[in-house]
Amino acid sequence: MSDDLNMTDALRTRAEELDAADPLAKRRELFALDDGVVYLDGNSLGALARHVPARMADVIAREWGELRIRSWDESGWWTAPERIGDRIAPLVGAAPGQVVVGDSTSVNVFKALVGAVRLVDDAARDEILVDATTFPTDGYIAESAARMTGRRIVPVEPGDVPSAVGPRTAAALVNHVDYRTGRLHDLPGITAAVQGAGALAVWDLCHSAGALPVGLDAHGVDLAVGCTYKYLNGGPGSPAYLYVAERHQARFDSPLPGWNSHADPFAMTSGYAAADGVLRGRVGTPDILSMLALESALDVWDGVDLADVRAKSLALTDFFLECVAAYVPSGALRSLTPAAHAERGSQAALACTEAPAVMRELIARGVVGDLRRPDVLRFGFTPLYVGFADAERAARELSRVYGEVTRAA
């Protein structure tokens, strides 16, 4: 028993030291977090930034309530999709003018994948490679995109994409980080392999943007999509974004040509003429309330170095897994998260036969992660507001809950 207490004291002391040295520690104060709760589900829904409610009160009461329709011009509502896109751009390693915000991730996957096939414009390239481990909606959308463009879907493990691409490949759709395991896939290498075969690379950044440097421009990515309600903390259902590399914009042919992407939207002509640049990714009237909540939430990133975010993310997940190994009996849980930093996103995934009961009890005790059925416990580490003491407490509670649940089973 004394050895267990000494180990716990040592890990708690280390957590305090790591938190004291953390350059991002003060960012936690920007978020509305409950005392006594460890929130490790920011990879599903990011925490609320404290200043957002006041901003939204002004949007609703003044911009909508008083200015009303004048706000499309006077409050900048009309230009919000590209303006907010330019704020997201540095977080994904893109220059201005290549990211537009609007619609859901699913809608943007459809735009990007159909647009990629149309950019390739080669009937002999009749295959679309799709990440076989992808988040389900990406697969559903890809199937629809394939039917629309006369292609067929070829499911491929992300690591096998470089050997699977060939003269029949039009495009490849890959997730940057696996949503279940937290595995980080090789964006530079896969992109180069896809393009080397004459195809285009489309990336889903939902589980990487805001957690680690992405480098879209540096790695020559063709198209990318991502959500904003996870690590970017935009709020439930906040609009997603679409990245179209500048070199592709003049030929990007969206399958959803709405009036907002028209070269002259208010001409109200019956014929469609696409706008210049990334505005081609717009569709219909943007969801202003959720879009402006996102814009306000992005303020928490002002002055943040993504290198610090990545360093803390890796340190947090390392420390959490170390604490789990120290507290939980050997062999009780199986880590699905890669040990190698180059292969890890910003979450820890643990396989456990009693996962539903364990997560349910963890949440009841104030450690909020989530479950991926049937047996995966997911813990998301959002570097802007999760600390090392959180990681230690989560592992300690996990050990207690696991013991209680398995004894009761």
Q: Is 50 a catalytic residue?
A: no
- To the query of whether residue 9 is one of the catalytic residues in this protein, the response is no
Residue 318 and residue 285 share a domain: no
Residue 269 forms part of a structural domain: yes
Cis preceding linkage at 374, omega within 30: yes
- Whether 210 and 280 share a structural domain: yes
Considering the domain architecture, whether residues 206 and 257 belong to the same structural domain is answered as yes
Same domain, 209 and 228: yes
**Domain-located, residue 250:** yes
In a domain, 48, yes or no: no
- The pair of structure tokens assigned to 77 is 């509502």
Residue 44: inside a domain, yes or no? no
Predicted pLDDT at 2: 55
Q: Who's near 312: CB < 8 A, 6+ residues apart? A: 22, 24, 383
CA distance 154 to 165: 10
- List own/partner pairs for 23-31 with CB under 8 A and 24 or more apart: 23/308, 24/304, 24/308, 24/309, 24/312, 24/383, 24/384, 25/387, 27/300, 27/304, 27/384, 27/385, 28/384, 28/385, 28/387, 30/300, 30/384, 30/385, 31/233, 31/300, 31/384, 31/385
Catalytic residue among 312, 378, 393, 396: 378
In whole angstroms, give the CA distance from residue 5 to residue 278. Answer: 58
Q: Which of 22, 138, 178, 204 is catalytic?
A: 204
281, 344: one domain: no
The reply to whether 360 falls in a domain is yes
Angle at 248 between CA 246 and CA 118, to 5 degrees: 155
Whether residue 379 lies in the annotated active site: no
CB 218 within 8 Å of CB 237: no
Query: Residue 6's pLDDT is what?
Result: 86
Instruction: Give the residue from 251, 278, 301 where a domain finishes.
Output: 301
End-of-domain residue from the set 266, 301, 336: 301
Instruction: Supply the DSSP symbol for 160.
Output: G
Residues 193, 205, single domain; the answer is yes
Residue span of the structural domain in which 188 resides: 53-301
Whether 140 is catalytic? no
Beta strands in 90-212 (DSSP E): 99-101, 127-131, 152-156, 169-175, 200-204
Q: Same domain, yes or no, for 179 and 227?
A: yes
Residue 353: inside a domain? yes
Do 59 and 24 lie in one domain? The reply is: no
Active-site residue, from 31, 39, 110, 229: 229
- Reported as a single tens digit per residue, the pLDDT across 100-118 is 999 999 999 999 999 999 9
Structure tokens at 94: 């893109």
Per-residue model confidence (pLDDT) at position 3: 65
Is 230 a known active-site residue? yes
Please tell me the predicted confidence (pLDDT) of residue 343.
98
Among the listed residues 111, 151, 230, 312, the single catalytic one is 230
Closest CA to 273 of 257, 284, 285: 257
Same domain as 90, residue 8: no
CATH number at residue 359: 3.90.1150.10
Digitized pLDDT (tens) for each residue of the chain, 409 residues in all: 556 778 899 999 999 999 999 999 999 999 999 999 999 999 999 999 999 999 999 999 999 999 999 999 999 999 999 999 999 999 999 999 999 999 999 999 999 999 999 999 999 999 999 999 999 999 999 999 999 999 999 999 999 999 999 999 999 999 999 999 999 999 999 999 999 999 999 999 999 999 999 999 999 999 999 999 999 999 999 999 999 999 999 999 999 999 999 999 999 999 999 999 999 999 999 999 999 999 999 999 999 999 999 999 999 999 999 999 999 998 899 999 999 999 999 999 999 999 999 999 999 999 999 999 999 999 999 999 999 999 999 999 999 999 999 988 6
Asked whether residue 12 falls in the same domain as residue 124, the answer is no
Catalytic residue among 31, 135, 252, 327: 135
User: b vs e for 262-280, b when ≥16 Cβ sit within 10 Å of the residue's Cβ?
Assistant: beebeeeeeeeebbebbbb
Residue 38 falls inside a structural domain: no
In sign, the C-alpha dihedral spanning 232, 279, 118, 146 is: positive
The verdict on residue 309 lying in a domain is yes
Domain count, the chain: 2
Same domain, 343 and 378: yes
The residue from 301, 316, 343 where one domain ends is 301
Q: Is 331 found in the same domain as 297?
A: no
Residue 408 is predicted with a pLDDT of 85
pTM of the prediction? 0.97
Q: Residue 102 belongs to a domain with what CATH number?
A: 3.40.640.10
